[in-house]
Amino acid sequence: MVVNADERGGGDTVEMLLRMNRRALAVLSLLIVFLGATAMAMALWPDTPLAEWPLRFPLLFPIAVLLAFFSLRFFGGGREFRADAAEVKVILNDDFRRANLLRAQRIALVLILIAQVPLGVLFMRVQPTRAVIGMGGTTIALGVSAVILLFLFFDRE
C-alpha cells in the first residue's frame, strides 16, 4: 500500500532540523578546535594570550557556549524539539547519517594515531606535566573535531 506523503507532514521540519544540526556541529567543532589550541598553547607557549585567557577570563568560555546555543536556537526558529519527537527519531535513525558517522569515526581514529608521532615530537621539549596536558587536550580536540568535520564532509549533498 502506498501511503500519501501529504497526510503525514513533517518533511520540512526534518530538513530544518538537519540544517540546524549541521550548523550546530560546525559551531561545536570551532569551539573544540579553539579549546585544543588553548591546551596546546598552555603547554608550549604559556605566556601567550591564547594560553592565559582561561585564567584571566574564566567565564568567557561558558558565556561563549551559551551565546552559541541561544544563537543557534534563534536561527532555528526557536522551536522546541523533544528527543522522542518523530522528526528527531528520523534523523537519529537515518541510515545515511549513521554510515557517515561510522566512516568519520574510522578515519578520525587513524588520524589520531598518526598524529601522536608529530605531537610527541612537539611536546618532547616541555615539562612532563605540561606535555601530558598538552598532548591530552590536543588529542581529544583533534579527534572530536576530526569526527565532526569528516561527518559534515561525508554528509554533504
**Amino acid symbol at 20:** M
The CA distances from residue 6 to 12, 88, 90, in Å, are: 12, 19, 17
CA distance 43 to 124: 11
Using rule CB under 8 A, residue 121 touches other proteins: no
Nearer to other proteins, 25 or 91 (CB): 91
Nearer to other proteins, 79 or 98 (CB): 98
Positions 7 through 26 that interact with other proteins (CB under 8 A): 8, 10-11, 14-15, 18
Q: Output the smallest distance, CB 84 to other proteins, in A.
A: 15
Residue 85 CA to residue 68 CA, distance in Å, equals 23
152 belongs to the binding site for other proteins (CB under 8 A): no
CA dihedral sign of residues 14, 16, 20, 23: positive
**Hey, what amino acid is at 32?**
I
Distance CA 118, CA 33 (A): 17
Q: Which of residues 80-119 bind other proteins (CB under 8 A)?
A: 90-91, 93-97, 99
Q: Does 155 bind other proteins (CB under 8 A)?
A: yes
- Per CB under 8 A, contacts with other proteins among 41-80 are none
In degrees and rounded to multiples of 5, residue 119 shows phi and psi of: -65, -40
Size of the site for other proteins (CB under 8 A): 21
Contact residues: other proteins, CB under 8 A: 1-3, 5-6, 8, 10-11, 14-15, 18, 90-91, 93-97, 99, 155, 157
